Amino acid sequence: MVLYQMKKYVLNKAPSVRVTRFDEELNREQLEAVTCPGGPMLVLAGAGTGKTRTLTYRVAWLVENGVNPSNILLLTFTNKASKEMMRRAASLIGGDVTALWGGTFHHIGNLILKHHASALGYKDGFSILDRTDTKDLFDTCRTAVAAAHKDAQLLPKASVLTDLHSYTRNTSKTAATVIAERFPALETNAALILEVIALYEKKKRQLNLVDFDDILHNLVVLLKEHEDIREYYSRRFQHVLVDEYQDTNLLQAEAVGLLSAYHRNIMAVGDDAQSIFSFRGANFENILNFHQSYPDARIFKLTTNYRSTPQILNTANSAIAANQRQFRKDLVSVRGSGEPPALVPLEDVREQALFVASKIKDAVDEGGALSGIAVLYRSHYQSMEVQMELTRLGIPYDVRSGMKFFEQAHIKDILAYLRIISNPYDEISWKRLLKMLPGIGNATAEKIWRYLLDLPDAPPLDRVVSAGKAAPKKSAEQFAAFVKCLSELRKIDAPSEAIDTALKGSYEKYLFLTFTDADNRLRDLTQLSEYAIKYNSTDVFLSEMAIQGSEQPIAAVNGDKDEHVVLSSIHQAKGLEWKTVFVIGLNDGQFPSIKSAKNWDEEEERRLFYVALTRACDELYLCYAYTSYAGLIRPSRFIKDIPRGLLEEIEII
């Protein structure tokens, strides 16, 4: 007998399934939702109550109770959220959940559409346009329509058309309705815009292309018009779980209903009190009227909060109570008692900025971490003075609501008008403004600039009228308006008046044709104009602005590059938390932001306020000014909703 040398090898077996102790690892509210046998479920997860934990434990409970992961569909709004939930679920059950269908609505929609492209008339292998590709195709269509119509030079930029069309798709509204409601400045050119959109849709079909927003639209069309396909997927997905249901739009809610139609085991998790994204197309009615779509739905409320002190939660509960259209619930803290939120009346926005920066500096001097502090606001323009004061004190900050104030294109644009009046030989500012005019690019701007310098003894401002002959004919009308604006600016030395003149002269129209967030940018410039009132000289104002725009705060504190204060709009702050939160600009007209838009909703503004309050863990400061450059202003009506006994007023001395 031949004996072989033996070597041991351990098989890499799949780990045994862990038995999760649900009753020990979940609170009572979470446990009831996680272990619900099935049927339609609406889980109202208040801020800081363990929404993600509830969803992942639900996946684990389903798998441990015999549901194959391949029969579970988990829909989220970000790939990051999907991956994190699947990682946690795998950790809980100690097994493989890669077969689970998890991802964003668009990811899942694309997976399904790739298998059934021909059913919608597409050829196999259709391509998906990213945002840059979409803008490029819109630009091509815009150019074609402009060439066919001599009066089409004032068509909006491709980026504006892209956002307009996206909102149309996500709200299932007509383009004409969206223009009237959200882009009223473009109504005079509505017919031409509709022609561009029609050409864009035609070209996509010809080229076998779909854009990002087509995915949801096509998914719903596929499921509604092809019963066999709908039945296959709704039978396959025994359980459908949806994260952030309050942020779904009409198409997403309809897709969820179609994909869960057979088993009707849908778990929608969200918080109606945090529905704040209607400007993106989110439909508040989806979560508010869930029980109307699913009359037999069970409603669960998660109200045990692990984030904030009782004093902060009592304030937040009182603030949201004024809303009539909501699911009533009061968050209850598991934490010990803390300090009451502070109400801080301040003379004006400059004193507001000084207070915020001073308190932050005090916290750092006492050994606190900047990373635990956030300054939140309704609109980006409200951060200007705070940015300037933090820079002055050398406190590093990270702006989450957009670019730093003086780095923004529209701020640089408007200052360029003032610069060429102050210094007529400022070539950079001249070319910046010239290139805003239709048909003028780098080469033409250089040609016009050379013409302006032709006569050394005549400054450029004296030659700008005749320089129009070097501009293309298509820009003649806009060039004339530009010249008229410069002529008026030459008579003005007060920088605030100069900014207003440049806006009314030509720049405001350019804003609405160029930027999708023109309203917000206009408020930035209005704030800059108000700030400039304290300057009597444009030269002095420009020097100060140049210094502010060039100075940088210290790179780090104690050598930690991640140590910085966060400056963020409340929309950007949703889902995050900080130990200390300052909410600034709490004045009527600013927060709530009272817009002229027809769909303005005070209750959504109040929900936004509620989101701001519930970002704070330990300390909360509510700041408002009682005077502005125009006179006395009122504190926000939302502050008045809060019983005075819940707040501690700070007197500035």
Q: Which two tokens stand for residue 285?
A: 């009615």
Is 49 annotated as contributing to ligand binding?
Answer: yes
From 20, 30, 51, 404, active-site residue: 51
CA-closest candidate to residue 360, choices 150, 565, 528: 565
Of 134, 274, 326, 527, the active-site residue reads: 274
Question: Do residues 256 and 266 make contact, with C-beta atoms less than 8 angstroms apart?
Answer: yes
Please check whether residue 102 is in contact with residue 89, taking contact to mean a CB–CB distance below 8 angstroms: no
Tokens 């129009």 sit at which residue? 468
514 is annotated as an active-site residue: no
Neighbours of 216 (CB within 10 A): 22
Catalytic residue (one of 213, 214, 244, 272): 244
Q: Give the angle subtended at the CA of 191 by the CAs of 279 and 140, to the nearest 5°.
A: 80
| 323 in Cβ contact with 603 (< 8 Å) | yes
Cβ atoms of 239 and 62 within 8 Å: the answer is yes
Would you call 627 a catalytic residue per the annotation?
no
Gap between the Cα atoms of 391 and 561, Å rounded: 16
The residue from 25, 32, 35, 52 that is catalytic is 52
Q: For the chain, state the CA radius of gyration.
A: 29
Mark whether 504 is an active-site residue. no
Of residues 163, 217, 153, the one with CA closest to residue 188? 153
Q: Residues 556, 391, 345, CA angle at the centre, nearest 5°?
A: 115
Per DSSP, the three-state class of 406 is: helix
Answer yes or no: is 48 a known binding residue.
yes
Has 457 been annotated as catalytic?
A: no
52 annotated active-site: yes
DSSP 467-513: GGGGS-GGGHHHHHHHHHHHHHHTT---HHHHHHHHIIIIIHHHHHH
Catalytic residue among 243, 351, 389, 519: 243
Smallest CA-to-CA distance from 417 within 476, 495, 472, 532 is with 495
Contact between 380 and 402 under an 8 Å Cβ cutoff? The reply is yes
Q: Find out whether 51 is annotated in a ligand binding site.
A: yes
Is 47 annotated as contributing to ligand binding? yes
What is the three-class DSSP state of 239?
Answer: strand
The H or E element spanning position 128 is: strand 127-129
**50 labeled binding residue:** yes
Catalytic status, residue 244: yes
**Which pair of structure tokens corresponds to residue 420?**
């060429």
**Residues with catalytic roles:** 51-52, 243-244, 274, 615
Residues comprising the binding site? 45-52
Binding-site annotation: residue ranges for ATP = 45-52
